[in-house]
Chains A and B, each alone.
Chain A
Amino acid sequence: MKVVNLMAVVDEEKCKACRTCERVCPVQAIKVENRKAIVDAEQCRGCAACEQRCPYYAITMVKREEPVEVAINIDDVDYDKVISLCRCAKLNPEQIICYCTGTRAEEVAAAILKGARSPEDVSFMTGARTGCKVECIQPILRLLKAAGIDPAPPKGGWQWYGQTPTVWDIPEKVKQKYASRGFYFDEDIKLLERVIEAPLQGRREN
């Protein structure tokens, strides 16, 4: 759950229509039209990516008069399907996947079950990836893949490029080559698998 209390505002005098904002927005809430960046206030999740990367300092984050609460109600979906999706993505449903918003894997799975088809949809529906914008792209892509979805990155955008390997994908020869240098691949697989199977703490299990 995320309370969106900020919104991007463009200074038209400073905007040079370079499209950097458009390329970095995780929910595609800002677009250049008629040579000026325009923010869709409903869509904006207040992450400040555009403000932080605008080369002309044309964007400021202002406080919303009415904060928007972004959350997925997991009661709306079949929780067995949530569990199955998370485990297929090698995640525990209660595992936090976005450290900034505290979004858990189950929320992303529920968003997918409710129709999210891309990381942009997931971010819009859950708020995940609208804090630091950095650390949670891979578990989101893993969950989408587990649901059989193969999203394409936004055309011309820099939001994300693709899924990357997990520890389960490390080739055996690589593991052996670096075994003496402090990389504990197999041990970490065992740890992660224990986490995946760990009992749930939330009310669903009761």
Chain B
Amino acid sequence: MRAPIPPIPPRKSQYGIDPSLVRKRVCELPGMTSVLLKELFPDLPEVIYPGEEGVATIRKATEEALRNVDMSKIKPEHSVNILASHHGFTLLGGEPYAEMLKTIKDVIEARTGCKNIRLRAGVGLRFRETEEYIKRYGLDEYFGGKAIGVAPIDEGIPIETEIGTLYGIKKIYDADWIVHAHNSDVREVHFHRQVDRAVKPFGMSYARIETRSTYHQNLGPRAANFTARAIFDSPFVQSKFAFACFLMVAPNGIMGVDADNDLYALNDRVTYLGCRYYGKMMTLFGEIDECIVALDFPCPVVYVFSAGVIYANFAGANTDLYDLDNPLPGYTWYTEAFYGKRGKPLLDDIPPLNPAIKMCVHNYAWTGYPSAFFSEHIPTVVVGREQAELFNRDPQNLNYMKYAVVAETTEAAMEFAYKVTGTRKVLIFDGAIGGINLSEPLAEFLLKRAPAVSERVENELLPKWLRQRGVDLSLLKRAAS
């Protein structure tokens, strides 16, 4: 079997333990191996990153993609906000996204003569996260001191939409023009269900708490993402929108960069790629009958990656996340909200968290996202008292350790998990690029199941998923040719 792939290293952050405390990675333990994603699904696209040219290839691809974008509205005397989100910096180490942002700035400046170009980087629930990335990737210096992180509790502005008043972050919109710089990685499919994925930040990382609460509490699981469309379509946002530029991401790496003045055209391309490539990975993960999950990535519990799939999605992989006929996956905030006082769903047809997950070994993951639902319903072992203490100090996770136990070492945690669960199948969420780190029995299992999954997605599921989202594949193909 193949040696494990080097995982994404721990990252210094106020939301995680000091990297020096991560003494062992789960993939370093005996019996761990790796599977390349191309071995599982040979039709996954060729990627430009990782590659021999490093991030230089991202710069080239961004310049190429922007060549066909109309920037004539931007005049030398104008101001431009390039809008970024935290999520992009978690992809493949973060450098590709940072490089795309720098390139967008350079191209706008060269093409339009505009010098007043700022970076506004939105966040999720860790309000200083993009501040950390701005420093880490030298973006403040690159943008001449005009790069800031913005948070959903910062000063807001009302935005009139066709469903009523919603609210954006004032500093997102305080320029003549905005450029939406994002990525196609699917990440929270349990929330957006691959509906208007490309538009989502307008209802989320660029939005105030009122709007985000609308998304997660007022509209319902399959109507939620309409908040983003309502804001983007508003006359106010349309009057400022210049263009969008996206890192196009597949589970095995970055396929390229796509840019468009028409966000919905780009959105359809993102929908197709998300359904096809990530849909296969998630469907394959849904086949897993039993396993131990190991969290080992510099992100909050729900966002740790394996094969481009986040733990939150694996926790709901017992249902088809892409099928909009399923109202609720095993995990989404609406699902969590609908658990009554006896710890059971209020409706009988609400699916449980993925019963294939027999235990979770939390070797390394961050705070800054409410995660107690997971430790309450999935047996969880946290490695190290320092990490447990960090969770006990996080206002979003005061109940996480109420249900989890602490092991002193990674080895002890895994031994405990093996003994208690009786399974030797281990799936590691450590961001391994181009493949999956996992145990040998699980590698054999996935390699055996992948061909049939691929065929089912291509012939049966993908056409249904695209139909549900109004994406016409023939039109996409025609536009591409």
List residues of chain A with CB under 8 Å of any chain B CB: 2-3, 5-6, 23-24, 46-49, 52-53, 61, 63, 92, 94-97, 99-102, 104, 130-139, 142, 158-167, 169-171, 174, 178, 180-185, 187-189, 191-192, 194-195, 198-202
Contact = CB atoms under 8 A, between A and B. Distances in A.
A61 B393 contact: yes
A181 B210 contact: no
B477 interface: no
B225 A52 contact: no
Contact of A164 (B218, B369, B373, B395): B218
B153 A133 contact: yes
A48 B162 CA distance: 35
B210 A137 contact: yes
Interface in B403-419: none
DSSP class of A's interface residues: helix, strand, loop or mixed? loop
A180 B327 contact: no
B218 A184 contact: no
A136 to B, nearest CB: 6
Contact of A134 (B194, B212, B341): B212
Contacts of B396: 100, 131-132
Contacts of A99: 333, 336-337, 370, 373
A191 B328 contact: yes
Contact of A104 (B213, B341, B369): B341
Given A53-B153, A101-B398, A161 B210 contact: yes
Interface string B186-218: 000000011110000000000011111110111
B213 A138 contact: yes
A64 B214 CA distance: 34
Contacts of B340: 92, 94, 198, 200-202
B341 A158 contact: no
Interface stretch (B55-63, B164-172, B357-365): B164-172
Given A92-B346, A132-B396, A182-B195, A192 B220 contact: yes
Nearest to B349: A194
B195 A183 contact: yes
Nearest to B152: A134
B136 to A, nearest CB: 17
Contact of A182 (B158, B337, B470): B470
Given A52-B127, A139-B217, A191-B327, A170 B152 contact: no
A5 B194 CA distance: 39
Contact of A100 (B196, B219, B395): B395
Contacts of B193: 182
A185 B218 CA distance: 11
A192 B346 CA distance: 11
Contacts of A94: 340-341, 346
